Amino acid sequence: MLIRKEFIQTAFAGLVGTAMIPFTKFGSSDNLNKKGLVKNVNECETYFVRENTSITIHISKSDNIDSMSICTEELLPGFSIPVHKHLYADEIFHIIKGSGIFTLDNEEIQINVGGSAFVPKDTWHGLKNTGTELLLLTFGFSPAGFEDYFRQTGTLKGLPFKPKPQEQHDLLAKKYGMVYK
């Protein structure tokens, strides 16, 4: 009986002791000093990556947030995000409006309003709007940073659309760790 009592006391002391370790041992001091952020859509940047495909960057590394980014994209019927993979970041998707076919590795999966997908880095993925209406999706990267690819390959909303040369796309894809299938 004494052994059980000693075990419980030791285990409890260990749990309490662990809980009292300062939080800074688990997180970087950079993350502890960050402030929250609230942005309205008029404060966000929108880029056209094709003449009729816009991406809005809501939360990004340029907001001093390193852990994740959040963007939205509008895909017209018949348009797609080509199958590709990211070498440096995980990606997450959530469908707000419309439907389509999501490619994950070699599998094609129907995705509808409210559907979500998680794509670990170095995993092939793509999305095609197979519906008859606009497909609106929210997506993001962890860690943040890949959203700069859209800034560098797209045209800022309000300016005349100017497609970038393929060589520039290729260099930026390599820089940001994006590989097309």
What's the confidence (pLDDT) of residue 27? 42
Radius of gyration, CA atoms only, the chain: 22
Q: 151: Cβ–Cβ under 8 A, 6 or more apart, which residues?
A: 45, 47, 57
Q: How far is CA 102 from CA 3, 87, 121, 138, 148, in A?
A: 57, 19, 16, 14, 24
Sequence ranges of the domains in the chain:
46-157
Rounded Cα distance, 49 and 29, in Å: 36
Per-residue pLDDT of the chain (181 residues; tens, 9 = 90+): 445 455 344 443 443 343 333 333 334 445 555 789 999 999 999 999 999 999 999 999 999 999 999 999 999 999 999 999 999 999 999 999 999 999 999 999 999 999 999 999 999 999 999 999 999 999 999 999 999 999 999 999 999 999 999 999 999 999 999 999 9
Tokens representing residue 59 in the block: 């939360």
Distance CA 130, CA 83 (A): 15
CATH code for the domain defined by 46-157: 2.60.120.10
Instruction: State residue 41 phi and psi, 5-degree precision.
Output: -60, -30
Q: Is 64 left (phi over 0), alpha (psi -120 to 50) or beta?
A: left
